[in-house]
Amino acid sequence: MSDLRYALYLGCMIPNRYPNVEVSIRSAISGLGIELVDMKGASCCPAPGVIRSFSSKFWLAAAARNITIAEEMGCDIVTGCNGCYGTLKEANETLKHNETKKEWVNKILKEAGAREYRGTAEVKHLIEALYVDVGVDKLSKLVENPIPLRAAVHYGCHIVKPSEFRRWGTTESPRFLDELVETTGARSIEYKDKNMCCGAGGGVRSSNLSVALDMTHEKLTNMKAANVDCIVDCCPFCHMQLEGGQLDIKKQTGEDFNIPVFYYTQLLGLTMGLSKEELGLHKNAISTSQLLNRFGY
């Protein structure tokens, strides 16, 4: 695994709102012997829903600019955000197979900063890199302290859709994240409407918080009915909605779900022997301490 090297694309949400997620990614991945190289000068991906609705040309050119940074580094891109993955993956696939769009994007890039999109880098989600490039078997062998949690796994929309750009995993009834979660000793618990959106995406949270929280409430209710100990996700935007949404609901209605939410590398790193501080768990909005104390962590 020591020969795996990626250009790390953090996006906006992780470094600005979830540095605890960032530190967990850096700590856990370092423990796997994988080299993550920072992408200096990278910008917003930009967001796959909102920005593209205003200007598909700007969306594609800005995404291509980010990809050219990784191309210059000689690395494939890895990102821990579903939305960033959705944008960069689709932009990369589009430009690799559409010469006309590639030509006008390169014209824009040349005028804006003497850059050129070549199509030499691949775009991967962090979960894809762990599942495909590292593999479940290797990860399982690195788990020193398995933790038998009952986990509600949440994929999020952009890691599985649109399916034509997600050829590495089943998109209708995905199991790859469940398998990764279960390498930690946790049990992935099935619950009603598991693949339902968290409620945050597509600008819903920003434009209509009540609708977003209705969706989140339904997901949380289904998870609670399945008697789970925690939620495990792989997207900072989903993390914001599933964690922060619980606090919003409690403030508005008094209903307290109090279900701790782990970003996947927080859970993985914990079972690899890393401390709570090294994984940013002490900064999670919903405390994990009581839950982890039950299992001797």
Determine the Cα–Cα distance for residues 198 and 194; give it in Å rounded to an integer: 10
Structural domain contains residue 134: no
- The answer to the question of residue 109 being in a domain is yes
Do 184 and 278 sit in the same domain of this protein? Answer: yes
- Separation CA 216–CA 222 (nearest Å): 10
Instruction: With respect to residue 18, please indicate whether it lies within any of the assigned structural domains.
Output: yes
Q: Does 180 reside within a domain? A: yes
The SS3 call for residue 274 is coil
Task: Determine, yes or no, domain membership for 132.
Answer: no
- pLDDT at site 2: 52
Same domain, 59 and 103: yes
Does residue 135 sit within a domain? no
Is the per-residue pLDDT at 247 higher than 90? yes
Q: 26-30 long-range CB contacts below 8 Å, 24 or more apart?
A: 27/265, 27/269, 27/274, 27/278, 27/279, 28/265, 28/266, 28/268, 28/269, 28/272, 28/274, 28/279, 29/126, 29/265
Distances 72 to 41, 110, 112 between C-alpha atoms, Å: 12, 15, 17
**Residues 71, 115 share a domain:** yes
Q: Which of 125, 156, 173 is a domain's end point?
A: 125
On the question of pLDDT at 1 being above 60, the answer is no
CATH label of the domain that carries residue 249: 3.40.50.11810
State residue 48's pLDDT score. 76
Same domain, 182 and 268: yes
Residues 171 and 86 placed together within one structural domain of the fold: no
Looking at the structure, do residues 114 and 155 belong to the same domain, yes or no?
A: no
- For residues 155 and 286, state if they share a domain: yes
CA 260 to chain centroid: 17
Distance from the first to the final alpha carbon of the chain: 28
Contact between 239 and 20 (Cβ < 8 Å): no
Same domain, 156 and 279: yes
The phi and psi torsions of 238 (rounded to 5 degrees) equal: -65, -40
pLDDT of residue 203: 74
pLDDT, tens digit (0-9, with 9 covering 90-100), for 6-50: 999 999 999 999 999 999 999 999 999 899 999 999 999 998 777
Write down the H helix ranges in 11-98. Answer: 13-17, 19-31, 50-54, 56-73, 82-97
The reported pLDDT for the residue numbered 205 is 80
In a domain? residue 131 = no
Note the pLDDT of residue 27: 96
Mean pLDDT value across the chain: 94
Name the domain boundary from 65, 96, 125: 125
| Same domain membership, residue 32 and residue 79 | yes
In DSSP terms, 54 is beta-bridged to none
| Per-residue model confidence (pLDDT) at position 169 | 63
Please report whether residue 137 resides in a domain: no
Mean pLDDT, to the nearest integer, of 75-98?
96
The tally of domains found in the chain comes to 2
The span from the CA of 79 to the CA of 111, in Å, is 27
Q: Which of 66, 97, 125 is the last residue of a domain?
A: 125
Residue, of 1 and 111, whose pLDDT is higher = 111
Return d(Cα 163, Cα 150) in angstroms, integer: 29
Same domain as 285, residue 163: yes
Per the structure, the complete domain to which residue 182 belongs is given by: 145-294
CB 73 within 8 A of CB 7: yes
The dihedral through the CA atoms of 262, 266, 268, 274 has a sign that is negative
CB 261 within 8 A of CB 231: yes
Integer-rounded Cα Rg, in Å, for the chain is 19
Model pLDDT for residues 74-85, shown as the tens digit of each residue: 999 999 999 999
Query: What's 10's domain CATH number?
Result: 1.20.1050.140
Burial 207-237 (b: 16+ CB within 10 A, else e): eebeebbebbbebbebbeeeebbbbbbbbbb
288 and 176 in a common domain: yes
Task: Quick: pLDDT tens for 144-198.
Answer: 999 999 999 999 999 998 777 777 666 678 999 999 999 999 999 999 999 999 9
Mean pLDDT along residues 55-77: 96
Asked if 118 and 181 sit in the same domain, the reply is: no
